Structure 1
């Protein structure tokens, strides 16, 4: 069993690394948030830096609240996430694992830049991720945070990962399967996540909800439930990443794990519980086969926890991470996520182009429609997933009327 080192001092500005010890063969050095590391021959995507930023901020918030942080990076690649958890989140211990033995030298060299002091703060393994997590569970060697940055729709890690996380600990999971979230491989999404997904206008949000739903199902089998702390979509890949908190006990009901529908006739969306499966219809048309597209079961609850995001934003400001030279703007992203956390907002989003098309007019500015929705008493937010879309509890039919009225006022 891996021992827990002595606690680090309270989190402050991330520490400066020592200089590299030596040059690795086939070195390909990169720099991220001021940390230099070697990617070697590993798969590395620089565009995923925002997802790593969010993971580190969330981990740092955990340590501030709990006093210690042990991390398992189950599919670590070159080890950049492990390095950042050690340096920036000041993790007490990180177990960096990758099944590819050829990566061991690169991982070890990158992590060796962190001085260990009296206690060893990291270890490298080259084994199957499921095996590592299952063995940790059997030894009762639980982690505060497990990061599973998997490829495609490989959901085989979910149950072993949930088992190896401490109660109230964090699980950071991934999908890169845009075909399944887009409804193009419904039988594949059913096998991987237990959800039959069909094409919908807000497919990228469906991808996040499909991933959370898969975790909900696996956690429920073990007698646990999950709470999404943040959900992040990025178009490159695409990448769907979700940070979950693992809680003891099953959810008292399935109110946030339901089927969703989109009506191609009127554009409205609805959620249906399991006992409503034989009664699904849209008020605009009772001909279900012709008008409704149904997917599920999926997570239909909040994608984020506003209080956790507020703590992440506070840390980002303290660390000077609000924006950088690459165009990343964490302040804008996290504030959008906080706005999306409004409990009055339903699942999905409406694309401005679709509303304008149904209204048969040119689209007004997104600012104008947002102001009007708020004046009319509706909840509304922009979407971090699609910059030209809104999340609102205003039905599509009413949005069409608002678009038309805005145009009429503009030409008077």
Structure 2
């Protein structure tokens, strides 16, 4: 009797934007939740190319055929093909992956979409490819790894052209958000803190890491857009060469201090720039051992990026160009970018519900709290990373004065608070600021008035980073092996090895 053969899995197609890719569920990584990520890449690349063309027009320089793009970790090739079909002004895109199966999928999808003239498949180790491209640099490098991107940064900052664009994603949010500070230091060279502002801190840790890698080669970065959505962060930075500008990194990178009681945040740059030229070190310690607000100890984190997260001109260009691009996540992107445009250039933020939770008091409406800050003469905005965020240039003392003023009309049962709790220390302290809760005309931001989709929607069925690729690559031998096959009978092999070792020991005796 003939053995029945298993029916092979047929390729199915997935359409996103103007691209249709063929995928085999057995060995191809595709995450539909990342459509916003890819849409953002299309929009950012369009704005970047438009900016280059405008600069060349102003300088009356000769326009080249287009820019070169490297997608170092391409998987199905979807992102590269979308760039080829939806972004004008591209000369060549290299879609690279270390997995042979992925490269076969890339080739198939390139042919299926008819972009052979623009997209070139590559089967190479991403870091090696970038090191080999240091002479013939790419104008744009897109890195979207599973987890931490830092192992690729050294090559990326060297093989991107002067004034080129890096588009980098990180999905290891548990590490960046403070759950494992020692691992964060190992990977990013910074200590992460558990904070309500953890998503912005994650962005600033990643930017600090990129800036540090670039600085080793006399290069510096200018962040164009830094965004935290869903389960990942993504940054868009320009890279330039200047040893003098690199020194300014010391003024844009610094430490962050957070109280363990009231969670008040303070930041300190590593250096200050003198008005007469040169740099001077900051005085240390910047904060007292005990917090001035609640007399609790403080944690130190960082170093993090303290400079701007976004470039206002670039964000405005993005918004202006969106109407000319067909994007599946258009509505959400308009909302998020409008919130980003309204963001203050102030490091980190507080969450209103957390502030009131510390003193065990009912939470005021957001408009009232924002009005109190504006009435006191300070600026305030949302952060795109948190729906209840308070991003302000007001000192911590003023913020807690507002909390105390609100508590007077919404009394807390103090007999239920312990004497050493931060709530008692905060509520018993005197108020030094005149607080008014009258609604300020600027308290309601334009993005909210226009009812834009500002913050991430509820998770869908497919929400999450997906699973890591099942195929492992042996770089030394150039062999691909399935993790599942590699781990078969693992326990029994260990037992046999243990028995063999015991037998050899007995024989030796």
Match of 2:33 among 41, 47, 50: 47
**2:365 is matched with which residue?**
365
Pair 1:286–1:364, CA change in 2 (3 A):
closer
Match of 1:308 among 310, 314, 319: 314
Match of 1:163 among 145, 158, 165: 158
**2:126 is matched with which residue?**
129
Match of 1:74 among 62, 72, 81: 72
**2:233 is matched with which residue?**
240
Rounded Cα–Cα distance in structure 1 between residues aligned with 2:294 and 2:162? 42
Rounded Cα–Cα distance in structure 2 between residues aligned with 1:179 and 1:386? 16
Rounded Cα–Cα distance in structure 1 between residues aligned with 2:160 and 2:141? 7
Rounded Cα–Cα distance in structure 2 between residues aligned with 1:80 and 1:265? 47
Rounded Cα–Cα distance in structure 1 between residues aligned with 2:294 and 2:357? 23
- Is the Cα contact below 8 Å between 1:364 and 1:403 reproduced in 2? no
Matches within 5 A, 1:146-157: 146-157=141-152
Normalising to structure 1: TM-score of the pair?
0.84
- Is the Cα contact below 8 Å between 2:35 and 2:329 reproduced in 1? no
Rounded Cα–Cα distance in structure 2 between residues aligned with 1:322 and 1:110? 20
Matched position secondary structure for 2:266: strand
Pair 1:25–1:63, CA change in 2 (3 A):
farther
CA deviation profile, 1:74-128 (whole Å, cap 9, x unmatched): 00111111011111112221100011011122212222244459xx312101110
**1:376 is matched with which residue?**
376
**1:8 is matched with which residue?**
none
Pair 1:260–1:39, CA change in 2 (3 A):
farther
**1:285, CA displacement in angstroms?**
3.2
Between the two proteins, the alignment pairs up a number of residues equal to 376
**1:314, CA displacement in angstroms?**
0.9
Unaligned runs of 5+ in 1: 1-23
**1:252 is matched with which residue?**
247
Aligned Cα root-mean-square deviation (Å): 2.7
**1:404, CA displacement in angstroms?**
5.0
**1:269 is matched with which residue?**
265
**2:324 is matched with which residue?**
318
Matched, 1:56 2:42: yes
Pair 1:225–1:38, CA change in 2 (3 A):
same
Rounded Cα–Cα distance in structure 1 between residues aligned with 2:437 and 2:394? 22
Matches within 5 A, 1:7-406: 26-40=10-24, 41-67=27-53, 68-90=66-88, 91-115=90-114, 120-137=117-134, 140-235=135-230, 238-250=231-243, 251-253=246-248, 254-274=250-270, 275-276=281-282, 278-282=284-288, 285=291, 290-321=296-327, 329-340=332-343, 342-343=344-345, 346-403=346-403, 405=405
Rounded Cα–Cα distance in structure 2 between residues aligned with 1:39 and 1:400? 55
Normalising to structure 2: TM-score of the pair?
0.69
